[in-house]
Structure 1
Amino acid sequence: MCYPKLPSLTKEVDDKRRKAQRRRRTSRNATSSVAVPEAIFRCVICTDDVPRVSLSSSITAACSHPPQTCRPCISSWISSRLKSSGHGSLTCPQCNERLNDMEIKAFATPEVYEEYEVLVLCSSLSDNPEFHWCIGPGCQYGQLHADSNPIFRCAQCSFRSCIEHKVPWHDGFTCTEYDASIVSRQREMEEAASKKKIKQTSRQCPGENCGWRIEKNEGCDHITCRKCKTEFCWLCKANYKDIRRHGNMAHRRTRRYYSTNLPAL
């Protein structure tokens, strides 16, 4: 049996169907437009939250831990270590694994990496026994010097220095003579230091024609010279013959044994 189509009902059903289709399309579009949240980590140095995709799986090829330091902090770490400890101390900030050249270049700023390259070059040159740096004032030039002549003349500033002693060239002295002069000066300095020490820790005997130096570590200030047997006060050098004759008035007025400086009984 056939039933006639009801126009009003059919239109209502079609409208509902179209609305449902629109809702499904809108839902699919909304679902596809929702961004999947990125994996992030918190930097152990600056404590900022950083997308993990900004770093590779590890800071160095030898690191066994996941990276927990952001790229700016790694860059700052490299710069700081380079200035404080030199190019040989550049390691991962989380462990002690060394950064290789490519890793340093990847994290450091161009300026810091250029400084690193200069330090590496200087270190390499310094390992060559025939390479010498000029020690002239303000000069940063260096050159090879394979000659047996100990006089090094800088090609940049013409400053002359001694390869053997690493000092400005000692005009008037051969290296052997310069060595002898160093030994002589060292001996003179030691003797001068010894005399100064003796003078600070000893007193000269005031006995007539004696002058013997006496050292006192502790004990009474009544001293007897072993050489001439003169008895004197350690503090003011008053002779005990005078002290026995005149009493404590024989001491210097500024010293504690002078009569008026003694504590009252």
Structure 2
Amino acid sequence: MELDHSDSASDDKSYILDIYQIVQRDAKVARLLQSQENWSQQAPSGNRDCAVCSDNVLIIGLPSLANCIHRPETCAGCYADWITTQLRDNSWREVKCPGSECRIQLTYDEIRQYANPGIFQQYDAFLARAAFNDDPNFRWCRACDSGQIHMSGVEGNIFTCAACGHKLCVIHEKTWHEGETCEEYEYRSSGRKGRDQRLQEEASLEAIRKLSKKCPGRECQFSIEKNDGCDHMTCKSQAFCPLLKLE
């Protein structure tokens, strides 16, 4: 009986290859662990003066950005104040690093991490409003802080807030003009209705002056009109004959 030495040699090679791969993997892990240990040993320690307020603070507590290449130099309190100033001066749209020559912009997560909680809430609300305002069908309620999608083609010109029930005219962006169509509201609010009413009143007064005359009674200020019948007339104050004046 003869032994098949080729199979044995193949098994030996496979075994050696497995051992080699394990050694290489362990070496890679060892190098990674050594690198992390070296980084920990080289990490900044001790204190540093804040570039803004000059307070001496722990270096490890100084805020730093992921994309900045310079060393952190601003304490947490001054960093929060800087974010507040940047947001208000730039209309809540961007915040750059406080480094004098750095132009790196803070990310949303970095602003959340380093800003005062109240300021971040305002910033977050601004971003949400900005996103909603990009939708032409989104409208804010004038009576509360709620808002919703309003499709004018389906729901007409009346926006009804789902949160508080307030009604808004989407054409004029004002509280809904109850009892008036948009055309009637425009007619009234433009001043044309008042002007037309004044013209009608003036025309009526002119017609009264032409068709009537003052009562001849000394103390009476009423206007009278005779359009039919006999000549005897009775005013509120007295009776008289239009031809003979007073009786």
TM-score, with normalisation over the residues of structure 2? Answer: 0.49
TM-score, with normalisation over the residues of structure 1? Answer: 0.46
